[in-house]
Amino acid sequence: MTAKGYWIARISVHDDAGYAEYVAAANPVYSAHGGTPIVRGGRFESVEGDSRPRNVVIEFPSYQAALDCYNSPEYAAARQIRQRAAEGEIVVVEGPESS
């Protein structure tokens, strides 16, 4: 049994074109590590605490794969683009074990 890994990101975009460049650079990196976006933007309601206008969840086959993706040189290049275009937080979370 292996637990999946997830990136949970809360983002405030201040440069739409730059953020689109980030998404184009990051998508192949997610895929290379088995990542699949399962939430990307969309309607939300902040029911408690602070929020940001964009929420993203990316599922990976394991917690280690999620960490490896974030720490990869390829994502480091994409991350620099994102950091110019947006502010936010990303946490890597281990999901429950599955069979």
Could you tell me the mean pLDDT of each successive run of 10 residues in the chain, 99 residues long? 93 96 97 96 92 96 98 97 97 87
Residue 99 confidence (pLDDT) = 60
Domain count, the chain: 1
**Residue-range definition of the domain harbouring residue 72:** 2-43+53-98
pTM of this structure = 0.91
Residue 96 confidence (pLDDT) = 87
Do the domain assignments include residue 87? yes
Do the domain assignments include residue 29? yes
Do the domain assignments include residue 48? no
Residue 71 confidence (pLDDT) = 98
Residue 97 confidence (pLDDT) = 81
User: Pseudo-torsion of CA 17, 70, 41, 44, nearest 10°?
Assistant: -140
Q: What is the CATH number of the domain that holds 30?
A: 3.30.70.100
Do the domain assignments include residue 90? yes
